[in-house]
Structure 1
């Protein structure tokens, strides 16, 4: 799982400040290739609640090294982190590459629209998740073409 901050004043603004930005949280399940996205107003208190509603306490949870995920160890028995300042994959193989790839596609989707109203971001995020969940895997597409 990971979070993304979508800037409304331009897509090159960086950082976790929510000034003119919208927080989008994504949970990607590797076994079923399903994506859940939620738009939140504040990070720390809401992310924890979203995770408890959508992730079983027995699941492996991979996150980055952000301090907002520190409380996860008390709920999820198998919570592992990767420090992106060191590398994108930890020494034990933990990574958030798939959800980072999803963020790239969602940002690209938002750039195709002339204007994205802040109060409609949740609909655009749901649309992107729906498309991601409905796109067949590469293997299925290749089998259909053969």
Structure 2
């Protein structure tokens, strides 16, 4: 199966959302994406996927939630807002039989420009 990685950042206090298609799903690309869009002083919440481990080197306030244990960690960390975004993306793309990789970012930009 050929999958396309879509990464996103949701800023809770301003409701800003940044979404981008990444060509390679590796920790180096994820870290660079985060550095480009997040202040190093921010609290960063992710799930416990191993690709996010390098974020701790730049973001000292990086906390995780293990979704095998629940949707909210014992300390209150959650990723519910961005998970809601992914739910809407999946629902949108299910309406299309097939979307070419090079059109996904364009389609995404159009959907959120409305």
TM-score (norm 1): 0.73
What is the 5 A alignment of 1:44-123? 44=26, 45-123=28-106
Q: Which one has more relative contact order, counting CA pairs under 8 Å at least 6 apart?
A: 1
- Residue 128 of structure 1 deviates from its aligned partner by 3.5
- Residue 102 of structure 1 deviates from its aligned partner by 0.4
Residue of structure 1 in register with 2:18 after alignment: 36
Give unpaired runs (5+ residues) of structure 1. Answer: 1-18, 132-146
What is the 5 A alignment of 1:121-132? 121-131=104-114
Give unpaired runs (5+ residues) of structure 2. Answer: none
- The list of structure 1 runs, each at least 4 consecutive aligned residues, that deviate by more than 6 angstroms after superposition, is none
**Matched position secondary structure for 1:90:** coil
**Aligned partners of 2:111, 2:73: CA distance in 1, in Å?**
28
Give the number of aligned pairs.
113
Q: CA RMSD in A?
A: 1.3
In 2, are the aligned partners of 1:36 and 1:129 still within 8 Å (CA)? no
1:39-68 per-residue CA deviation (whole Å, 9 max, x = no partner) reads 011112211100000000000000000111
- Residue 78 of structure 1 deviates from its aligned partner by 0.5
Instruction: Name the stretch that deviates more: 82-91 or 121-130.
Output: 121-130
